[in-house]
Structure 1
Amino acid sequence: MPLFMDFHKLDSDAITEEDMYKAHLRDIAIQNKHGLVYKKYYLNLNHKTAFCLMEGPNKKACIESHKEAHGVGACNIIEVSPEHEFIPYMGKGDQNEKDLALTLSGEVDSGFRTILLVDFLALTKPSDNITTEIRDTIEQKKGNLVKIPNKKVMASFINASDAVKCSMEIALYFEALGGNVPFSIALATGQPVDEHSTDLFEETKKKVRVMSRLGFELGICMDSNTELSAIKTNDSSQLDTAGITTIDHATYAEMQKLDAVLMKNLNDSSFNADALSKQLGLSKTQAYRKISALFGIPPKRLLSELRLLDAAKALTISGKTVSEVAYDSGFNSPTYFTRVFRNRFDILPSKMNKSGFGQ
């Protein structure tokens, strides 16, 4: 049968584990009537959230069962793939005699996870060797690898501090390569299902993708949820986060808006720093100040960097000529593109195109 996961927002601060178990028993009492099998439930009393995992014939049966058992449905229910979503993101875990989800270490599983996304550009080394090293580090730091349809590497961590330590070790590995492998590492922590999601960890995955796309100037960046979770689960005196940029909620909202504008216009050669400022609803001075404060470079330089990265990736995965890639990436002159590409990466784009690096 299909696998479903729901989300409940607990309204009362007085709810206990015993209260949740009694609610779970009400679900079990009528599960056969609706053709369901309630597997286990995840509980986070601090965030007042609960997530139930169940097998059933369809989403409608899950909704009707909850209404009958509790008089009201779940805040949201989504279908999840056991092999491609649930196990990679949530892990196998365990449960106690009351079906409360437990981590492999025996602690109550809150359902929250820290998602790590690593993106890099292999200029002079085969990317497969780098990917293998990253994957090995993730597994050593208790992360679960998640398959995604591109050259990036994604993983899920139960413990945010493990994810932070893993990101720092991966960054050190990149630095040991001599600085010729541009990279971005993004970390975000969130819940598996929220009120509007249709996909497991939908909002958290969106967040790491935005931070990753814009994060090559930052190296490692994490959201404030990850920082707080890491501090709670680790002795803060032993968790060195130097070199990691923390993105608070307000800053992420600005990054999200910036990312949307850039994704729409980056490949348009007429789109410049002035147009970027206008579409962000900022004056030139405001855009310069905000972008420089976050990324350490002005808007014009950020545009150039992102276009060069976009072009470099295209050269490693497409069969297009250097001129085609230059125009596709927002450069209106292949000659100018070749010059700035060589100045930035110390390699001719034609050499990179023929090398097969990144394949």
Structure 2
Amino acid sequence: MPIYMDRHDVSKEVTAEIVADLHQKDLKIQHKFNCKGLTYWFDDKRKTAFCLVEAPDQAAIKAMHDQAHGEVPHKIIEVDGAIVESFLGRIEDPKKSQKTTLNIINDPAYRIIMVVGIKHLPLNSLHLKNIKLLIQKQNSSIIKTIDHFKGRLVKQKHDCFLISFDSVTNAVLCALEIHTVINTQDHPYTQLKMGLSGGVPVSEKEGLFEDTIKTAERLCTVVKGGIVLSAEVKDLYESENLNISIDKQYINVLHSNDEKFLNLLMDHTEREWRNTSLSASDYVKILGYSKSQLYRKMVAITGKSPNTFIKDYRLNNALKLLNKRIDNISEIAFETGFNSPAYFSKCFQNTFGILPSNYLKSYQH
């Protein structure tokens, strides 16, 4: 049967004991609806509860909750059990709670999500021949560091890691250690970026931690700085570490107003980047800034002017397509919003240090 996770936003009077009692009421009648409650999470601070349930469909879960206690969930999404475990660390009740009569679980589902991105530049032919060994060495170091700081590796590619942490302190310290380890491996062509955001597994979106992952990815790929934290992560870190401030030499904190700007900017960019007519004027209209205000804001957050930002966004997506080697260079140029293959090749070489044609040849050998 499918597995679902639901979200309950509860009142401030609700305690872990009350949630445990509601869960027991579900278990007593779950067979009537062909459901099986696997476990749950409760966050007393944020007053949220999340149930993990095997069920034939969402309607069965709502009916079970309604008959058991009347607390119908605010949102239900279908999930993969293995993915839930990789983010949250379990898909059954924790051992410490199994010995109690009521089986109280006061375990928040809030997680710090970290995205690590690695670029290897310039992509010249000599560098490409050695890139596999470099990637293996760096990835091994990153994985060891993640394990040391009790992170859970959710997803890994050769140039990207998605990691979940229970502890904000461990997440920030892990990011700093990865930054130190990679930079001491003495490779001047490695560009390391990290973004950290915090959130709960079920929001208004349909994917597990979808909003939090998207924010972490945008902090990693778009905002300037080696390590970028959301304002919420920064506040949580400093609340756990009194009298210890964020190290601004290596860490950039994106304030909440700038985060809203970033999300509006990226929502529009992700919709329109293939459109050859996309320009700074579009951002002016969408974001409600004057040209000069937009320029200052984008340089402050991304380190790039609007037009450079658009060009680099297209080039990074073109690089991904070249790595897949599905289309030819001309097709990729037009698909990624460039007016001509010649101009695309020129921009690609200026940014990555190699012509796209030579890049493809180097990867074929």
Q: TM-score range by the shorter chain?
A: 0.7 to 0.9
Decide whether the 8 Å contact of 1:114 with 1:159 is kept in 2: yes
Partner of 1:86: 84
The one-character-per-residue Cα deviations of 1:274-308 (angstroms, maximum 9, x if unpaired) are: 34333433221121121122123322332233233
Partner of 1:191: 200
Decide whether the 8 Å contact of 1:131 with 1:153 is kept in 2: no
Whole-angstrom distance in 2 between the partners of 1:80 and 1:349: 39
Q: Report the AA paired with residue 305 of structure 1.
A: D
- Worse-superposed segment, 176-185 or 68-77: 176-185
Q: Report the AA paired with residue 250 of structure 1.
A: N
Decide whether the 8 Å contact of 2:17 with 2:104 is kept in 1: no
Partner of 1:99: 103
Please tell me whether residue 48 in structure 1 is matched to residue 47 in structure 2. yes
Decide whether the 8 Å contact of 1:222 with 1:246 is kept in 2: yes
- The alpha-carbon distance between structure 1 residues 207 and 100, as it changes in their structure 2 partners (threshold 3 A), is farther
- The alpha-carbon distance between structure 1 residues 44 and 342, as it changes in their structure 2 partners (threshold 3 A), is same
- State the shift of 1:323 in Å: 4.6
TM-score (norm 2): 0.83
The one-character-per-residue Cα deviations of 1:12-53 (angstroms, maximum 9, x if unpaired) are: x23322222222232233223333333332111111111122
Decide whether the 8 Å contact of 2:135 with 2:158 is kept in 1: no
- State the shift of 1:128 in Å: 4.2
Partner of 1:317: 324
Secondary structure of the 1:20 match is helix
Q: Report the AA paired with residue 191 of structure 1.
A: V
Decide whether the 8 Å contact of 1:41 with 1:100 is kept in 2: no
TM-score (norm 1): 0.84
Decide whether the 8 Å contact of 2:151 with 2:164 is kept in 1: yes
Secondary structure of the 2:190 match is coil
Partner of 1:121: 119
Q: How does 1:207-246 map to 2 (within 5 A)?
A: 207-215=215-223, 217-234=224-241, 237=244, 240=247, 242-246=249-253
Please tell me whether residue 138 in structure 1 is matched to residue 136 in structure 2. no
Whole-angstrom distance in 1 between the partners of 2:79 and 2:297: 39
Whole-angstrom distance in 2 between the partners of 1:213 and 1:47: 29
Q: Report the AA paired with residue 67 of structure 1.
A: D
Whole-angstrom distance in 2 between the partners of 1:229 and 1:88: 22
Please tell me whether residue 6 in structure 1 is matched to residue 9 in structure 2. no
Partner of 2:315: 308
Whole-angstrom distance in 2 between the partners of 1:169 and 1:354: 36
Whole-angstrom distance in 1 between the partners of 2:328 and 2:243: 51
Whole-angstrom distance in 2 between the partners of 1:258 and 1:166: 29
Q: How does 1:6-25 map to 2 (within 5 A)?
A: 6-11=6-11, 13-25=12-24
Secondary structure of the 1:121 match is strand
Partner of 1:105: none
Please tell me whether residue 293 in structure 1 is matched to residue 297 in structure 2. no
Decide whether the 8 Å contact of 2:333 with 2:339 is kept in 1: yes
Decide whether the 8 Å contact of 1:311 with 1:325 is kept in 2: yes
- State the shift of 1:319 in Å: 5.0
Q: Report the AA paired with residue 220 of structure 2.
A: S
- Worse-superposed segment, 115-124 or 154-163: 115-124
- The alpha-carbon distance between structure 1 residues 354 and 237, as it changes in their structure 2 partners (threshold 3 A), is same
Decide whether the 8 Å contact of 2:8 with 2:74 is kept in 1: yes
Secondary structure of the 1:221 match is strand
Whole-angstrom distance in 2 between the partners of 1:242 and 1:153: 23
The one-character-per-residue Cα deviations of 1:102-148 (angstroms, maximum 9, x if unpaired) are: xxxxxx42011111122232333237424444333322321111237
Please tell me whether residue 182 in structure 1 is matched to residue 191 in structure 2. yes
Decide whether the 8 Å contact of 1:121 with 1:313 is kept in 2: no
Secondary structure of the 2:109 match is coil
Q: Report the AA paired with residue 136 of structure 1.
A: K
Q: Report the AA paired with residue 144 of structure 1.
A: R
Q: Report the AA paired with residue 3 of structure 1.
A: I
- The alpha-carbon distance between structure 1 residues 190 and 61, as it changes in their structure 2 partners (threshold 3 A), is same
The one-character-per-residue Cα deviations of 1:163-213 (angstroms, maximum 9, x if unpaired) are: 22222233334434544233432211111113x332221221222233334
Q: Aligned Cα RMSD in Å?
A: 2.9
Q: Which runs of 5+ in 2 are unaligned?
A: none
Q: Which runs of 5+ in 1 are unaligned?
A: 102-107
Whole-angstrom distance in 2 between the partners of 1:2 and 1:341: 45
Secondary structure of the 1:109 match is coil
Decide whether the 8 Å contact of 2:139 with 2:158 is kept in 1: no
- The alpha-carbon distance between structure 1 residues 275 and 247, as it changes in their structure 2 partners (threshold 3 A), is same
Please tell me whether residue 352 in structure 1 is matched to residue 359 in structure 2. yes
- State the shift of 1:321 in Å: 4.6
Secondary structure of the 1:356 match is helix
Whole-angstrom distance in 1 between the partners of 2:19 and 2:239: 24
